[in-house]
Structure 1
Amino acid sequence: MIDDIRFEGSAPLQQQLYQQLSARILHQRFPPGSRLPASRLLAADLGISRNTVNAVYDQLKAEGFLQSRAGKGIFVHEDINHRRLFEQQADTSPIASAALPPLPDPRLGAPAGTLRADGKACLPFSPGLPDLEAFPIRAWNRVLHHQESRLALRGYGDFQGYRPLRQAIASYLRSSRGLRCGEHQVIITNGAQQGLSLIADVFLQPGDRVLSENPGYRGARYALERHGSTLIPVPLKQQVLDVEALTRLGPAKLLYCTPTHQYPMGGILDISQRMALVQWAMRNQTWIIEDDYDSEFHFYNKPFAAIQGMFDNAPVLYVGSFSKTLLPGLRVGYLVVPEALVEAFVWHKRISGGETPLLSQATIAEFMDSGQFSRHLRRMRQLYRDKWSHFQARVTEHLSGLVTPVAESAGMHLVLEGAFDDAEVSSKLRNLGYGSTPLSAHFIGTASRQGLVMGFASANAAQIDGCVEALASVLSAGQGRA
């Protein structure tokens, strides 16, 4: 069936049909040997006379475009020389000489060095990557198979998200993170990154000021400055957001922070700092974006309560995802926003990303409701605690004097600071099969510190030993020295 042919203008139908069919053959939309519809069917589909179609087919056969096969139908000629035919018509084709439309402003493109090389996004020590082999795939598949036969999950869903999953998330966040929310405030997103992009869509206009931790999460920076807003760096003090510095920086539309586990330095805002932060935000009419990065993985203490639930009517937009707690490949995250903002967020999600796949949402919902999610988190905390201890021990043993670990008993990564060219050393490690990101890449503007952000959660014991030895060799040899 050919359903994209349109007749426009005053030119005869036969001429228009000939031009459109020949163009499709020349550009190999109908490749050599492909079968065309019978003239009766094509005429019925296009609402034109069969004689018109036969006349066009005859003309195309005479010119070598088509050939008939007795008892089988009409086919694109297998020996057609597309290059010769295309070159013959190139000089007379209005498409060939037309200029390209204006190109977009290059400043709207991706910042240099932000794209990962193919096949190297999941190397051991890649920050943010959980232990994929430790995921309970059999238990997950049982839940998945239970959900996949449901007819209701095969169609379209709610742009806000699958209600049972929103209910499960709200219940989990109330009990484990202290949030004040109901399922009607939860919006399911395609990963935390879409959540950050939606915040920018809802709140920001060109020229708006946005405050952001420095160093901080690069994904937030890319999302929040893409509408032409001005990103203002907020320094850290003792590995956490310097709340006192906010008074010197002036008001802003948004402030992005990771208060329960600063990324990448790992500090935690204490209660007095959180109170001061919320008071400052309320005085300055600033919305706080609370990214609960890695907050579930505190090894010696329970996860700290989120700012969103600590104060009545706190101006907080809460961002989370299942990329670290379950699998990055699920691409499922969530926002918790005040009820008055839900409609605006759902509208922007509808036009920018659409629905989140229902089957994934339903599987996560059952995984949470059945208690398997909580059990999985407990196992991962113990596993990551053991890896964290092993990694620190090897760093102390082999890298003493070469790096200074910034150690916090939480999260899935460790920062190793040092006086070396962190971009060059990170590149050398990648060539040896180990992931990392340069600490300098997390700064807005000029970096004031050098080091490596090492995601130990994705590495096994042998890989930890091998990576530390490789790093010791690179640094001891003086390669990458600043």
Structure 2
Amino acid sequence: MNSPISDLILVNLDAPCHAKLPMHRRIFEIVRRAILDRSIQAGTKMPSTRSLSVEFGCARNTILQAFEQLRAEGFIEAHTGSGSYVADTRPSHGNTATRRKVHTPRELSARGKRLTQFPSRQHFEIEGLVPEVDGFFQFPHKLWQKLQTRHWRAPDQSFLDYSRTGGHTGLREALADHLRLARSVRIDPEQILITAGTQQSLDLCSRLLCDAGDPIWMENPGFWGAHRIFSANEFKIRPIAVDDEGINPSEADLATRPRMIYVTPSHQYPTDVVMSLARRRLLVDFASRHGAWILEDDYDAEFRYNGKPLASLQGLDDQNRVLYLGTFSKVLYPGIRIGYIAVPEDLLEGFRIGLSDVQRPGQIAVQAALADFIREGHFASHIRNLRNRYGQSRAILQYTLQKFLDPAARLSQADTGLHMVIHLPDDCDDVEIAVAAGRKKLAVKPLSGYYFAPPASRGLVVGYGYTPLEALAPAAKILANLVNGSIGKSGKILADPVPRESWAACD
């Protein structure tokens, strides 16, 4: 007569989830699951291996293998002279008779909820007027593959380990040379730390320079990714207004003592303005006098279409209060996940330890290939090609929008970066226009959504990096028509930041 356990095994033996498992493993999995969900109670006697081998028509060794695994993992116990029994796998702490089930929270922490209640990247990332059409059209795939293959043919042993020195030495040297020439950054290779992109750089700076509750300044409107990092670290964020010369602290702002100041001086994100020299000097002087750290995020300064790229804010700093942050996401491709921080000398040792112990950087082989890409001149050539292409894109977009837009709409005039802004009259609903553009398969973002305090102006943030040249003029005409139709329309001026739920239709 079959036992209940043998019947249970027979019923489940040919289940699809077990189809690819050998016989002994099927038996083990069926019995194990039944014990865990208490279909088989503790103390139940197991059938003999001999009887099961007869019932299943398999070798006894197959059954023995399954039983040995069950015993090894504590699911059954062998009692000398009487056979095997199901073990009691319940937790041993507490009195079983009086133990009550405790319902532990199965949800994120308060910090986790703040971070994830609204998926920022989906709604704020400036990707392109006509997204997912062209994308990484000029990335030199074959050359990049060749450089990586070169290093893997005879790999250095360090490629397989964590980086404990701040990144691949060759890349740090190549970067230092590039930054000194192209961005007037005053830096030695030892002061450069390689990170997994700007978000990691911001998080590392936040952890090492500030404590929870510390006041920090942030441009308003500003970069949503930085705001997320600072919120996660529980800083007191003070939004500082931005005008046509960049960050513009008021007298009330200047009376505060921020621990850290985050800025995008070479191409303000998202308003498209370039910080004036006067404001740069004011900021550096303020930080020096009050002991504040400045985080300079130079995310797309390589793309300046008239004249040479502007010198960095860090190059004006005589008191070593500026940490310079850069990334290869814009100039190569986002998935490369390589960024860097130029750190003042007196912070270097602490940053090196923090990077190594907290973030465990790697991808040394990719860093080595990137070092060759820079040293051999491919990077400079790639930048020239991109600058030429993006310059054409910007010119076409500017010309078409200026030609067709209502005069009440003002186009930003900075000649740099991969996006521009259409500034709208206050009675225009930029969210509504962005939603309407989305229905026309155009990806633009409402400027009001980038404010961390009540929005001071309305506008549309228009990216063009992924858009083919031939698609720009038609897309700009459609967008201009949508804007013109909204101008003069009566509507309530929103006094608060746009409700996040309104963003879903913009994507």
Report the TM-score when normalising by structure 1: 0.78
Number of residue pairs matched by the alignment: 428
Query: Is the counterpart of residue 429 in structure 1 residue 437 in structure 2?
Result: yes
Query: Is the counterpart of residue 241 in structure 1 residue 244 in structure 2?
Result: no
CA separation of 1:459/1:313 partners in 2, compared to 1, >3 Å: closer, same or farther? same
AA in 1 matched with 2:456: S
Match of residue 250, structure 1, among 252, 256, 276? 256
Q: Which residue of 2 aligns with 1:137?
A: 141
1:11-160 alignment, distance < 5 Å: 31=18, 33-35=20-22, 69-70=58-59, 73=62, 98-101=102-105, 103-109=107-113, 110=115, 112-116=117-121, 124-125=128-129, 131-152=135-156, 154-159=159-164, 160=166
Q: Which residue of 2 aligns with 1:467?
A: 475
Question: What SS does the corresponding residue of 2:193 show, helix, strand or coil?
Answer: strand
Question: What SS does the corresponding residue of 1:134 show, helix, strand or coil?
Answer: coil
Which consecutive unaligned segments of at least 5 residues does structure 2 have? 26-43, 67-88, 92-98, 492-507
Q: Which residue of 1 aligns with 2:353?
A: 347
Q: Which residue of 1 aligns with 2:175?
A: 169
CA separation of 1:437/1:36 partners in 2, compared to 1, >3 Å: closer, same or farther? farther
Larger mean Cα displacement after TM superposition, 258-267 or 202-211: 258-267
The runs of at least 4 aligned residues of structure 1 exceeding 6 Å deviation read: 59-64, 92-96
Partner deviation per Cα, 1:102-121 (whole Å, 9 max, x = no partner):
64444543265434559x97
Shift of 1:470: 3.1
Asked if structure 2 preserves the Cα contact closer than 8 Å seen for 1:130 and 1:412, the reply is no
Partner deviation per Cα, 1:331-362 (whole Å, 9 max, x = no partner):
11000111232232233333443213122211
AA in 2 matched with 1:275: R
Question: What SS does the corresponding residue of 2:232 show, helix, strand or coil?
Answer: coil
Q: Which residue of 2 aligns with 1:326?
A: 332
Query: Is the counterpart of residue 384 in structure 1 residue 398 in structure 2?
Result: no
1:389-428 alignment, distance < 5 Å: 389-401=395-407, 403-419=409-425, 420-428=428-436
Question: What SS does the corresponding residue of 2:271 show, helix, strand or coil?
Answer: coil
Query: Is the counterpart of residue 456 in structure 1 residue 476 in structure 2?
Result: no
Q: Which residue of 2 aligns with 1:42?
A: none
Shift of 1:281: 0.7
Between the aligned partners of 1:391 and 1:299, the Cα distance in structure 2 is 14
Between the aligned partners of 1:157 and 1:71, the Cα distance in structure 2 is 49
1:157-306 alignment, distance < 5 Å: 157-159=162-164, 160-242=166-248, 245=251, 248-306=254-312
Between the aligned partners of 1:267 and 1:32, the Cα distance in structure 2 is 62
Between the aligned partners of 1:341 and 1:413, the Cα distance in structure 2 is 34
Between the aligned partners of 1:421 and 1:112, the Cα distance in structure 2 is 24
Asked if structure 2 preserves the Cα contact closer than 8 Å seen for 1:240 and 1:259, the reply is yes
Asked if structure 2 preserves the Cα contact closer than 8 Å seen for 1:417 and 1:449, the reply is yes
Question: What SS does the corresponding residue of 1:317 show, helix, strand or coil?
Answer: strand
Between the aligned partners of 1:60 and 1:204, the Cα distance in structure 2 is 65
Shift of 1:166: 1.0
**Structural RMSD (CA):** 3.9
Larger mean Cα displacement after TM superposition, 182-191 or 444-453: 444-453
Question: What SS does the corresponding residue of 2:270 show, helix, strand or coil?
Answer: coil
Shift of 1:163: 1.2
Shift of 1:238: 1.8
CA separation of 1:122/1:454 partners in 2, compared to 1, >3 Å: closer, same or farther? closer
CA separation of 1:231/1:248 partners in 2, compared to 1, >3 Å: closer, same or farther? same
Partner deviation per Cα, 1:124-145 (whole Å, 9 max, x = no partner):
3389x99511222222222222
Report the TM-score when normalising by structure 2: 0.74
AA in 2 matched with 1:216: G
Shift of 1:237: 2.8
Partner deviation per Cα, 1:420-477 (whole Å, 9 max, x = no partner):
3223332343344332322112111211211111111221123213322332343455
Partner deviation per Cα, 1:42-80 (whole Å, 9 max, x = no partner):
xxxxxxxxxxxxx9985799899x96744994699xxxx
Between the aligned partners of 1:117 and 1:231, the Cα distance in structure 2 is 23
Asked if structure 2 preserves the Cα contact closer than 8 Å seen for 1:265 and 1:415, the reply is yes
Between the aligned partners of 2:49 and 2:453, the Cα distance in structure 1 is 62
Asked if structure 2 preserves the Cα contact closer than 8 Å seen for 1:332 and 1:356, the reply is no
Which consecutive unaligned segments of at least 5 residues does structure 1 have? 1-17, 39-54, 77-91
Asked if structure 2 preserves the Cα contact closer than 8 Å seen for 1:384 and 1:412, the reply is yes
Between the aligned partners of 1:36 and 1:284, the Cα distance in structure 2 is 73
Asked if structure 1 preserves the Cα contact closer than 8 Å seen for 2:271 and 2:421, the reply is yes
CA separation of 1:297/1:71 partners in 2, compared to 1, >3 Å: closer, same or farther? farther
CA separation of 1:72/1:365 partners in 2, compared to 1, >3 Å: closer, same or farther? farther
Query: Is the counterpart of residue 441 in structure 1 residue 441 in structure 2?
Result: no
Question: What SS does the corresponding residue of 1:458 show, helix, strand or coil?
Answer: coil
Asked if structure 1 preserves the Cα contact closer than 8 Å seen for 2:159 and 2:363, the reply is no
Question: What SS does the corresponding residue of 1:290 show, helix, strand or coil?
Answer: strand
Asked if structure 2 preserves the Cα contact closer than 8 Å seen for 1:421 and 1:481, the reply is no
Question: What SS does the corresponding residue of 2:323 show, helix, strand or coil?
Answer: strand
CA separation of 1:122/1:178 partners in 2, compared to 1, >3 Å: closer, same or farther? closer
Question: What SS does the corresponding residue of 1:462 show, helix, strand or coil?
Answer: helix
Between the aligned partners of 1:143 and 1:359, the Cα distance in structure 2 is 10
